[in-house]
Structure 1
Amino acid sequence: MIVAGCDVGSLTAEAVIMTNGSILGSEIIRVRPTAEQSAKDVMDKVLAKLHLSYDNIDYCVSTGYGRETIPFADSNVSEISCHGRGAQWLIPTIRTVIDVGGQDCKAIRVDERGLLEDFVMNDKCAAGTGRSLELMAEVLGVDITRLGPLSLEATSPVVITNQCSIFAEMEIMHYLCEERSIADVAAGINEAMARRVKMLVGKVGVKEDIGVTGGVSKNIGVVQYLEKMLGKKFVQFSEDPQIVGALGAAIFAAEKARESKP
């Protein structure tokens, strides 16, 4: 039995193909103008890599913001449930999942089966999201992938006091006019992001083990600041943390496929 999970977010789309409890392959792309096109392109890419076709997929679950508009999906599940399930499948001891995506930030608590216990989400403001970090990186004139490593080179990190992304951007420009180093400003950006995420996590409560998913999980600066603020060390996933939502969707797909069999 071959199943698929497709996660269409605000900045990226991911797909995971599984068979018999093992991951066959995965792909990540930048989103296209529509959720339908994003889902098709990422699925086409992973299927081509595995020399498979849509006819080979027994069941597909979609998740993410565009989950209800994916024509080839058999059903859809919320990204909150999928991130929790995917993270717990990779690390059975995980109980708290911090997902920082392009458009929102979520703190998720799961039980020993990976099922949702509680969650809190910030989707009303760009602050504390991957898109916010992208905008700040543009102001610094660096690629988003450099923002984390740069902050490790800081000698005197700046302090970003504004929670609003627009005012924070003005604050960053002020520091650059003062000729503060790019590394010091990058560290300030990452520390401010971690501070906002910590406030959200505090609302749901922290239970170990803890894992971070989503694109921002690849920013070593944010992750290290957050670990320091929470006083906890995060577990490391064996797979790319950005595919955890799609992985969870594929796991749900396998369960639904078994349930639908006569």
Structure 2
Amino acid sequence: MALAREPQRKEYWRWTEYNWRNPDLDWRRAKTITAGVDVGSVSSQAVIMCDGELYAFANMRTGSDSPTSAQRAMDWAMENTGMTLKDVHFTVGTGYGRVNVPFANKAITEIACHARGGNFMYGPTVRTILDMGGQDCKAIHCDEKGKVTSFLMNDKCAAGTGRGMEVFADLLGVSIEDVGELSLQVAEEPEPVSSTCVVFAKTEATGLLRAGWPREKVLAAYCSAMAHRVVSLLERNGVEPDFAITGGIAKNVGVVSRIEKELGIKALKPRYDTQLAGAIGAALFGKALVEKGRR
């Protein structure tokens, strides 16, 4: 007798992976083709730029090791383009796994790359960038060229980061992409849960659910705690307008709106996927290095 299969548990933390190619650009006509590969603790992005213009990218989950994640992201970005690694003049690795991008010509810190990428994405008026990544957050000051002038980062911990939000989405059975909107569906703002440790926050949230709190109220409490934690980081480094947010959590309207409320400053609206900032900055550094070598 055949055994009945248990229904597969839905992975609420799983966000949409995708790739993209600019149909209006012919890479074969470009003088300089550069790539940036950002291997983070949670996600990996590969960006290809032709003469400083965005040509193609891939945004996907980081796998079990950095070299494979970097290669998979790059392969997906080049998919159906006719391009190979030999056509790329310079590749820069960045992010948590930047030294383990096997085909990179150089590794540059994610702080420098997010500042440069933020400058490209939001314009030269940006002075403060909050990078909300998978395992840490960084408050960055930069000049009109996207050069870092100062920065601060929190301790590497899931609390207040993308991974922490994934844990909560899974705990509450809410799609990670719906968390932000749902957290705003409360009549009044609840007290924040613990923001110092995701294990404590998860335990506290479980207790609140047992006490009868609806999911949106628990999510509001966690989004509020996350916002308060990063605002504290920003204020320690100082906040100068214009202000922008990069990283995956920048897509969470529940966190972003609470950050804006605490700061009394509106963040600039992104024109590109906020998860691409590091890889874009890396590709732009690659372009500058190629042009410097040609002089």
TM-score by length of 1: 0.97
For each residue in 1:169-217, what CA deviation from the matched residue of structure 2 results, as whole angstroms up to 9, or x when unmatched? 1111111112111111111111110000001111110001011000000
Q: Does 1:22 align with 2:50?
A: no
**Which residues in structure 2 correspond to 1:26-105 (within 5 Å)?**
26-90=57-121, 91-105=123-137
Amino acid at match of 2:154: N
Q: Alignment RMSD, CA only?
A: 1.1
Q: Which of 1 and 2 has greater Rg?
A: 2
Cα pair 1:160 1:168 within 8 Å, conserved: no
Which of 42, 59, 67 pairs up with 1:11? 42
Cα pair 2:129 2:139 within 8 Å, conserved: yes
Residue correspondences, number: 262
Which of 165, 172, 181 pairs up with 1:149? 181
Structure 1 unmatched runs, 5+ = none
Paired with 1:192 and 1:71, the residues of 2 have a C-alpha distance of 38
**Paired residue secondary structure (1:144):** coil
Cα pair 1:198 1:226 within 8 Å, conserved: yes
Aligned to 2:209: 176
Paired with 2:98 and 2:58, the residues of 1 have a C-alpha distance of 17
How many angstroms does 1:160 deviate by?
2.7
Amino acid at match of 1:181: P
Cα pair 2:193 2:222 within 8 Å, conserved: no
**Paired residue secondary structure (2:177):** helix
Aligned to 1:202: 235
Q: Does 1:112 align with 2:144?
A: yes
How many angstroms does 1:70 deviate by?
1.1
Distance 1:142 1:161, change over 3 A: closer
**Paired residue secondary structure (1:14):** strand
**Paired residue secondary structure (2:146):** coil
Which moves more between the two structures, 154-163 or 174-183?
154-163
Q: Which has the higher helix share?
A: 1
Cα pair 1:98 1:106 within 8 Å, conserved: yes
Paired with 1:57 and 1:105, the residues of 2 have a C-alpha distance of 31
Amino acid at match of 1:196: R
**Paired residue secondary structure (1:190):** helix
For each residue in 1:85-129, what CA deviation from the matched residue of structure 2 results, as whole angstroms up to 9, or x when unmatched? 111122111010000100100000001111000000013332211
Cα pair 2:193 2:221 within 8 Å, conserved: no
Cα pair 2:58 2:77 within 8 Å, conserved: yes
